[in-house]
Structure 1
Amino acid sequence: MKVRKFAAIDIGSNAVRLLISNVLEVDGASPVFSKSSLVRVPIRLGTDVFLNGKVSDENAERLAESMKAFKLLMGVHKVEAYKACATSAMREAKNGEELTKLIKKKSGVQINIIDGSDEAAIIANTDLQALIEGDKAYLYVDVGGGSTEFTVYSNGETIASKSFKIGTVRILNEMVKHETWVEVEQWIRENTKDFSKISLIGSGGNINKIFKISGKKEGTPLTYKYLSSYYQFLMSFSYEERISILGLNQDRADVIIPAARIYISAMKWSKAIKIYVPKIGLSDGIVKSLYYSTIEGNKVVDTE
């Protein structure tokens, strides 16, 4: 038996995360992945980029300091290898490439700016495959701060996949046009119309939080009725009340509203009545792709 450690850094539009995972290798068995540590910093790069086109000096410094801290943590945990991926905000920032070079110089962390299709492909490396086996149809919805990835699965195969610039931070800053909502609706309806029965699979911090609050057992889906009712419940409180009365974190109390709206809309347009909420996301996909790349002998980024 051997335990190896890998890490993933997910630089999103709302928050920056460091996931450190243990990979248990036993002869004759599939590797077992388990979370060792998860650190989340709510820098909210999207607010800068979607409004002003670039990451502000203040948040650039916060991001650089976060990467320094993450590098130290990976060293303490004796992480074998890591990969850092930046999504919507960084790929749209005018100073995105410049910032990655600055952070590399300051912290030693190499950041890869990926597009929406790469993001969806990485997530597909997670335990999502275990959920989509069989003859059922699913619409996978990964809601981020700057974009949302939609993928339709049937009979264990990918039928269609697309990334839209419709995310929680964009919606909060009123930067999603009506036409974009229409485009998403048309895409979902068109790509799910042939399935008489379809379920959603939701990923992202907000749906994970809603699922946790529901008290449901892991593997049990939430219903369209429950999610719609909870959305109305959240809407009945002000931002301040969602923090003081409901106990939500400051950086969760606002984005949870538009996130719920996206999931509910996707369920409505696909005619799904259930949404499964496995704890998977970009970070999990990065770790798995990173691990398997070492097995195949491909080059990875080492922490030394």
Structure 2
Amino acid sequence: MPRFAAIDVGSNALRLRIVDVGSVGKEKGAQVTFQEVLSQRAAVRLGTEVFLTGSIPAAAIAQACDALRDFRRVMDTANVDAYRATATSAVREAKNGALLVERAHRETGIDLEMIEGIEEARLVRLAVTRRIDLDDRTALLIDVGGGSTEFTILERGEHACSLSLPLGSVRLLETYLKDVETVDAKRLHLLDESVDRGLAELR
């Protein structure tokens, strides 16, 4: 039974998931199954300052490399056969995002791939449709991340369209609510306006 791992280097945290992949049923009609072996999260907020300054702080890069080094050790101990490591909004938008990718490879041996929002949407679609049968309906999938939000429409299980918008929890927090203890009406109004502008592309 092959053992695979996925690493998500997001704007709000780094995550590792290891699964065993099997199958149920006869060869032609076999259904792929996933058995979780391990799930791990590292609270490294790479999106801090990126959406304001355009760069990942040096301390956050170091913390991310520490987390990836630990993930590498865990994968080696678990005898993972193959993995995919992806970095999303904060890393792809940062001027020094390539530095994190280079250091991750040099210091941990992990090949980190910066992916676009549309690829994020595709991966979400694959994950959802493996779990939920949407063949008989029109469905809207929404993935709210730290730096971006992905929208996908399915028509009877078939992909109709996808869109990635620069709206995310960390991005909005850093832009409008950084170091704010109490959210007043003015800040809430600015936050609402920002979300409305971002969602205008959906109309």
TM-score normalised by the shorter chain: which range applies? 0.7 to 0.9
Question: Between Structure 1 and Structure 2, which shows a larger proportion of strand residues?
Answer: 2
Give the superposition deviation at 1:183: 4.2
Query: 1:43 corresponds to which letter in structure 2?
Result: V
TM-score normalised by length of structure 1: 0.57
Aligned length, in residue pairs: 186
Matched, 1:140 2:141: yes
Q: 1:52 to 1:177 in 2, by over 3 A?
A: farther
Distance 2:131 2:75 in 1: 29
What is the aligned partner in structure 2 of residue 200 from structure 1?
none
Query: Structure 1: which 4+ aligned runs deviate by more than 3 Å?
Result: none
Which structure's relative contact order is higher, taking Cα pairs within 8 Å and 6+ residues apart?
A: 1
Helix, strand or coil at the partner of 2:102: helix
Deviations 1:14-38 (A, max 9, x none): 0100010111245622221121111
Q: Superposed, which structure 2 residues align to 1:102-113 within 5 Å?
A: 102-113=103-114
Matched, 1:87 2:88: yes
CA RMSD of aligned residues (A): 1.9
Deviations 1:65-88 (A, max 9, x none): 111110000011100011100000
For structure 2, the residue ranges without an aligned partner over 5 or more in a row are 177-190
Q: 1:140 to 1:134 in 2, by over 3 A?
A: same
Distance 1:44 1:130 in 2: 29
Helix, strand or coil at the partner of 1:23: strand
Distance 2:9 2:49 in 1: 14
What is the aligned partner in structure 1 of residue 17 from structure 2?
19
How much identity, in percent, do the aligned residues show? 36
For structure 1, the residue ranges without an aligned partner over 5 or more in a row are 191-304
TM-score normalised by length of structure 2: 0.84
Question: Between Structure 1 and Structure 2, which shows a larger proportion of helix residues?
Answer: 1
User: Is the 2:125–2:152 contact (alpha carbons within 8 Å) kept by the matching residues of 1?
Assistant: no
User: Is the 1:54–1:96 contact (alpha carbons within 8 Å) kept by the matching residues of 2?
Assistant: yes
What is the aligned partner in structure 1 of residue 6 from structure 2?
8
Distance 2:73 2:194 in 1: 45
Query: 2:2 corresponds to which letter in structure 1?
Result: R
Distance 1:14 1:104 in 2: 21
What is the aligned partner in structure 2 of residue 181 from structure 1?
196
